[in-house]
Chain A
Amino acid sequence: MSSFGLAWKTARRYKARAVLAIAGVAIIGALNFDMLLLSKGLLLSFADMINAQGFDVRVVGSAGLPAARLPIAEASRLLDEIRRLPVVEEAAMVRGEAASILVPGRPPTAGVLFGTDHRTGAGAWTLVRGTGFEHVRSGAVISTALASAFGVEPGMTLRVKGRLSDRLSALPPLDVTVTGVGDFRFEAAQEFIVATTLETLSAAFGGLSRDEADLVLVASRARVSPERTAAAIRRVRPDVRAFSNQDVVENFNRNNFAYFRQISTVLSATTGAFTFLLVATLLTVSVNQRLGEVAALRALGISRQRIGATLLWESALLVGAGGALAIPIGLALARVLDDLLRRMPRLPAGAHFFVFEPQALASQAGLLAATAAVAALYPLWVAVSLPIAETLRREIVS
């Protein structure tokens, strides 16, 4: 009989202990798995969001990250210069301004007027119904949240008014024709978006708006790396900052998501310690209950290696079974927690705190395997180092 076979039969023989260990590891393992998903979840979902737009380079006005409101001056000239670069396939300018949405019979509702010169919105949304705004004068695509909140559908008119944060506004409202409804990746909860052309955006501000952009999105030509494109843009316009998507994600990772990594590291270490304590305690108790049996086996000539291997397998079986159960439990729990956390204000719709990735699964497996091995060390040492004669004598006396 192999060591694995002995371990399997032992686990089956002591069912209550096995079930307790497996359930414990499953629950603790699920929490650990969630911590692993949390450690990179926001970063991965953020990377997905910006990569899904179809542009691989982002240009902003000055130091800082593209999420910040750092306007680019003389944006039209910059866009022309970028479009002329041989490494560039296409470029789009986007700009967001605060706006009020005016619906008869309701108080003005705060929203964002999003302007772009890109015909399909620079990948900021996915159309759910209707069409884009490019063929309709003062056309607009609105978010699904806005459409359902106010019962607005394609073909209807929506009244918006630009809001100037630093001065009193006497701007006249502007009527836009809703051409489509879309899912906006960066839309925050309760933050209604109206997307339109830059001209309509300017008109909403009475034509007073400056030639500014919040962001220029650039797509590199095939076989051109985004880093090369970003470098070419920086050479042409040293006054702006160009980042590849990868740079943006890395910047976020360094500066904005360190909390999640730290929290998840602390909680992972804690759950790992609990797994270790649970399995080590159960195995140690189990070995202590069977000391006579172990001593007898060694008296019969069963090698230390065989006894040690059996214990290691037993630990691996308990942790492995619990670890396998931990994955679906962890995924279900992550879904619930993600739904709760995503209710936070001003969080983009496409952002997720818990994102599955194969590497998390590999890390989970590695952590559990290491825990199983470490947890088996003490009981293993007890089993292989026990004095045979003394243990047998104690067993008889007791």
Chain B
Amino acid sequence: MTTIVEARGVTRLFPMSAGPVTAVRDVTLAVSIGDYVAIGGPSGCGKSTLLHLLGCVDTPTSGSVLFEGRDVAALSERERSRIRLIRIGFVFQRFFLLPMLTASENIELPQAEAGVPAVERRARTRALLEYVELAHRADHLPSQLSGGEMQRIAIARALANRPALVLADEPTGELDEATGEHIAALFDRVHADGTAIVVVTHNPGLAARARTQVAMRSGALAGQGAGA
């Protein structure tokens, strides 16, 4: 299977006034096309830091991250930004939709940045709104949406430029159980449609849907197993 992103012996240290903190310690992990990986573990064990390293928003202190074969640390900020725009979709715990833009405008934004022509991106946005079953909410502002609806719009935004990989950091963390279940089902669909997913979660229901479950403890991988 083609590898999308691969962490090789990655360590990430954060310098602190009281001494450096090792957030990720010597982690090796590969995510390939068709993968659905859930990363679990206690708070502060380095899950989000690993996700940021895989998503090219951070670079390791040692070891290397290869995204589609290219060493991320060797890329310029502009190149990393381009990879994040085109090849990766991010879903955050707090949604981070732009509050002044409507649902459809939020989905259009990454496409506009990628230079997708207006007609094409409107069609893509309509399709994505239907995909997340929120076509009727296209012109609503985030403040007019529920938490679950905002997260579905955020997922649609993450899919806007047809990424190879979606990275989700506690996507159900702000949602109730039923809504979280709805979001988990949506991730299943995204995965079934051919997008690789890495999700950091404390939600056992969401983690159980992943094909691979990775446990972290104190910055290191503590175990790996097959999921659904």
Interface residues of A (CB under 8 A from B): 1, 6, 9-10, 12-14, 292-293, 296-304, 306, 387-389, 392-393, 395-396
Partner of B100, one of A9, A301, A393: A9
The complex places the Cα of A181 from the Cα of B57 at a distance, in Å, of: 83
Total A-B contacts with CB atoms under 8 angstroms apart: 84
A300 touches B55 (CB 8 A): no
Q: How far is the CA of A388 from the CA of B52 in the complex (A)?
A: 9
Nearest residue, chain A, Cβ from B113? A302
From A13, A300, A395, B157 is in contact (CB under 8 Å) with A300
Can you show 14 pairs from A to B with CB atoms below 8 A apart?
A6-B101, A9-B100, A297-B98, A299-B55, A300-B110, A301-B161, A302-B110, A302-B113, A304-B81, A388-B57, A388-B58, A392-B48, A395-B94, A396-B170
> Which chain B residues border A396 with CB–CB below 8 Å?
48, 93-94, 169-170
A301 and B96 contact, Cβ closer than 8 Å, known pairs A9-B101, A393-B49, A396-B170: no
Using a CB–CB distance below 8 Å, which chain B residues touch chain A? 48-49, 52, 55, 57-58, 77-78, 81-86, 88-90, 92-94, 96, 98-101, 105, 108-110, 112-114, 157-158, 161, 169-170
Q: Do the beta carbons of B81 and A293 come within 8 Å of each other?
A: no
B90's nearest neighbour on chain A, judged by CB, is A299
B81 touches A13 (CB 8 A): no
Contact B96 A292 (CB under 8 A): yes
Contact present for A10 and B100 (CB under 8 Å) = yes
Chain A residues positioned under 8 Å from B77 (CB to CB) = 304
A296 touches B90 (CB 8 A): yes
Task: Give the residue name and chain of the A residue nearest to B112 (CB).
Answer: A1
Task: Point out the residues of chain A lying under 8 angstroms from B81, CB to CB.
Answer: 298, 301-304
Interfacial chain A residues near B55, Cβ < 8 Å: 299
Kindly provide the distance from the CB of A357 to the nearest chain B CB, expressed in whole angstroms.
Answer: 40
- Asked whether A299 and B48 contact (CB < 8 A) given A304-B77, A306-B113, A395-B94, the answer is no
Q: Chain B residues with Cβ under 8 A from A303's Cβ?
A: 78, 81, 113
**Known interface pairs A300-B157, A303-B81; 8 further A-B residue pairs with C-beta atoms within 8 A, sorted by A's residue number:** A6-B100, A297-B98, A299-B55, A301-B83, A304-B77, A388-B58, A389-B49, A393-B52
Distance between Cα atoms of A396 and B96 in the complex (Å): 11
In whole angstroms, what is the CA distance A1 to B101 when docked?
10
**A296-B92, A389-B58 in contact; A301/B52 too (CB < 8 A)?**
no
Q: Is there an interface contact between B90 and A300, defined as CB atoms closer than 8 Å?
A: yes
Top 5 nearest A-B pairs (CB, nearest first) are A301-B85, A296-B96, A13-B100, A301-B84, A389-B58
Among B58, B83, B98, the one with the most A-chain Cβ atoms within 10 Å of its Cβ is: B98
